[in-house]
Amino acid sequence: MAMGKLTYLAIIISIIVIASLVWVNFPSIFPPSIKEMRNTFTASVTTPRVNAYGVNSTSFNLSFSIKVRIPDYSGRVLLATGVIPLGANPCTYLPPSFSPNITPQAVYSGFSSKTFVVMLLNSTVYTENKTFIVSLDAVSTPNDNWVFLSQGFNLKETPVVWIMVFEDHHVYRIGVIEFERVGEGLLYMPKIERC
């Protein structure tokens, strides 16, 4: 009788040890939650380049490369560019270029065969405290992959990038990159917002 209990105990311990090894060595089997993704993603952004265009140089173009890494996530990352008015909260403001029936002024290039543009039409995007109904074009790229983006803007606007994931048939925005103007010149620096 005691031998049977020891065998049963040994089997349970073995299962726990094997499950622990699987968890440590293959964390992507158990994908992170949206909250974990929001708290742990990192974004690398090259120094943005600004070019003026137009006769009076009131219109500009911001171009940069970006790589988003979400630990233990095997899905795709969606990136969408837009603009918001100066001083607007990037976490709560819906960029006008994301509004229905308006295509954002964005150029996507430097794509690999694994990176492509997707269109969301009147789709619900969930955030930590808010939902948005949007129509937008977004770059769909593998996790931890560099992508080149470009966005048109004027000096009364702030360029932004929405960082989103598609999980359980829903789109979740886990963060926003806001390009803040530094000084009076045309130097812009990226600022990551987790929202």
* DSSP secondary structure of 129-140: S-EEEEEEEEEE
Average pLDDT over residues 89-96: 92
Question: H helices of the chain, where?
Answer: 2-25, 34-40
pLDDT given at position 105: 44
Average pLDDT over residues 109-137: 83
Sign of torsion over alpha carbons 190, 151, 129, 123: negative
Average pLDDT over residues 136-164: 92
Please check the confidence at residue 22 and state whether its pLDDT lies above 50. Answer: no
pLDDT given at position 114: 78
Please check the confidence at residue 34 and state whether its pLDDT lies above 50. Answer: yes
pLDDT given at position 107: 47
Please check the confidence at residue 160 and state whether its pLDDT lies above 70. Answer: yes
**Residue-wise pLDDT tens digits, 163-192:** 999 998 999 999 999 999 998 878 899 999
Stated length of the chain: 195
**Nearest alpha carbon to residue 106 among 156, 66, 56:** 66
Average pLDDT over residues 121-150: 92
Q: How far apart are CA 103 and CA 191, in angstroms?
A: 24
Percentage above 90 pLDDT, the chain: 53
Q: What is the mean pLDDT of the chain?
A: 83
Q: How far apart are CA 92 and CA 10, in angstroms?
A: 54
Please check the confidence at residue 53 and state whether its pLDDT lies above 80. Answer: no
Give the number of C-alpha atoms closer than 13 A to the C-alpha of residue 171, restricted to the C-beta side. Answer: 24
